[in-house]
A and B are shown apart, each in its own frame.
Chain A
Amino acid sequence: MASFVQLVVSGLATGAIYALIAVGFTLLWQTSQTINFAQGEFVMLPAFFILASMNLGAPFWLAALIGIALSILVLGLLFKLVIVDPMLKHGVLPLVISTIALSLFLKESAKDFYSSQAQPFPALVPSTDVHVFGAVVSTQSLAVLAVAIATVVALHLLLNKTRLGRCMQATAQNPTLARILGIPVRRMVLYTFLINGALVAIASILISPIYLAKFTNGETLGMAAFLAAIIGGFNQVRGAILGGVILGVLDNLSAAYISSQYRGAFPLLILIAVILLRPQGLLGRIEERTV
């Protein structure tokens, strides 16, 4: 039982990180039909921004802020202006191809311009163990959970309690009507890209101490984001959160109790089952499809 609790807690921690990545992913989809195949690399990259700033002598907190700012600028603003905007008129598929190429570009750039070796990354809190109901839980997991929950709550408040957030939701749900009501739709879409930039940077800070900063990190993280988004529901923020958490916990439990060799396979089987039985995702609403 104790080990079960441990597995669930550490699963929740990774699941919470997946959820952050997946939320950004679904936000982009909702407001601009961007399927970002480079989302995993978006999480990989800020860690290198931070390491580079620390190499220049910045303390960790400052480097983290610089990393988040750079991420919002490069992965939010530049991504929107340089990659997405010119592609939108061509439809979904060319943009998919473009983000696949972008993921290759970012991965190779991190490898060639920083290092191909895994880099140690400072943790948020010193790693000690806490005993909770007989289970040993690392402070790191708890810190990750706390930061992730705080981020999600902040995002939730922004989206649901502020005028800006409601404008963004209106943009996502019906851009034409939103425009008629006088909402600056283009600016709202841009904001979601900036939010995604911030989310991936936070996820990067949380995950890099665990996985180390490595140029290949994006592959698994991007996959986790897709899976979480689809399992939970592509068009709902809370669906993505649920999907991420399910994925993290399931990954840990299946690796421990069923087969560690096939730990990668269980989320995929759930994915296929969800797509076949409930294509809109667990919490998603059915979209009117063009086809």
Chain B
Amino acid sequence: MNRLGIIAVVAAAIVAVALPFFLAPFGIYLISMWTVLTIAAIGLNLTLGYAGQVSLAQGAFVGIGAYCVALMTQAGWPYPFAFVCAGLLCFVIGWILGYPALRVQHHYLAFVTLAFTTLVFLVLRNEEWLTHGIYGIDGIARPTLLGWSTGEALDFYVFSLGALTVLAATTWWMLRSPWGRAFVALRENPIRALSLGLDTRRYTLMAFAIGSSLGGLAGALYAPLVQFIEPSSFALGLSFNLLLMVIVGGSGYFFGPFVGALIAVLLPEWLRVTQGYYLIVYAAAVMIMMALCPSGLLGLAERAAKAVLRRDPPPVAPLRIEVTEP
């Protein structure tokens, strides 16, 4: 990452920390939702942007994580334990769901995951003994960690921002590791990756499972944030939205999900003047962007930055070796 990028990230981090002090409770709720959706989108970006597997199941994993945490905390288990369980559960289910990914590619995989999302929705809706069906689960308590209650909006935002930071840092570290390189190799040229001795089978499963577990962890934060969950929140619409977030932000860019989730959270508020029409505007904007710049907003920014740099070369051109980043 170049210096400009570092400055941008630091500035964004300062804004993220300082912003809640200038916001009403609803604003804090919105940016808390942003942290939650960003975590889920980071997971999907791992599967889609880095490993190149199209998944329409991320929303279902958010649902599984949310229900896992809601049911476990209401049964009296401590929140941190439930949080870890949500991640592990989604890891295992993601691993199993990853098997079809080995047999099929691209559009077929999209349909398998689409079917999975619908199945999860049906189970959540129909198994009333467990999930209370369409009535959902309400009164989900916000956790108290080591005596620190996150019941207030601001406290919960700090907690979820902390979770986002830790999970994003872990993902960043993982992508720098040989594992992350292997994921990219899978996307760029699976046959070459295989011929270089990468166990593509294992890495594909791994990408899917890790991405899914991040979805589950996002769900584990979603449940106490909203304090009410119901099956239809986790239907296909959420998976589509998460997919759009990753694409709009820029799939394969580490910070793409941050940008995409921010737009998904803020746009309905900004476009409130258009009243009911905001989804139409959003959908039209996505279609236009796909036609002009399918690499997303960060891809657009990168292109713009390159254009500016090329037009305005430094007086003494420093010797630079271009390392193509994914």
Contact = CB atoms under 8 A, between A and B. Distances in A.
A199 B220 CA distance: 44
Contact of A112 (B116, B236, B276, B294): B276
Given A96-B107, A112-B280, A276-B103, A101 B115 contact: no
Contacts of B280: 105, 108-109, 112
Interface in B98-137: 99-100, 103-108, 110-112, 114-116, 118-119, 122, 126
B243 A86 contact: no
Interface string A100-122: 11101100110110000000000
Contact of A101 (B54, B111, B114, B283): B283
Given A226-B111, A279-B103, A108 B277 contact: yes
Interface residues of A, number: 39
The secondary-structure label for the interface of chain B is: helix
A223 B56 CA distance: 13
Contacts of A86: 291
A100 B240 contact: yes
B284 interface: yes
Interface in B255-275: none
A94 interface: yes
A112 B279 CA distance: 10
Nearest to A102: B287
B44 to A, nearest CB: 13
Most buried by A among B105, B107, B110, B122: B107
A102 B290 CA distance: 11
B115 A268 contact: yes
A219 B104 CA distance: 24
A35 B111 CA distance: 11
A87 B121 CA distance: 32
Nearest to B109: A275
Contact of A108 (B116, B244, B279): B279
B20 interface: no
Contact of A261 (B107, B114, B126, B284): B126
Nearest to A289: B105
Most buried by B among A97, A102, A112, A271: A97
A154 interface: no
A115 to B, nearest CB: 12
Interface in A223-244: 223, 226-227, 230
25 contacts: A83-B291, A87-B294, A92-B107, A96-B107, A98-B286, A98-B290, A98-B291, A100-B240, A100-B244, A101-B244, A101-B287, A104-B240, A104-B282, A105-B280, A105-B287, A108-B277, A109-B280, A112-B277, A230-B111, A262-B126, A265-B122, A271-B112, A272-B116, A275-B104, A276-B99
Interface of B: 54, 99-100, 103-108, 110-112, 114-116, 118-119, 122, 126, 190-191, 236, 240, 243-244, 247, 276-277, 279-280, 282-284, 286-287, 290-291, 294
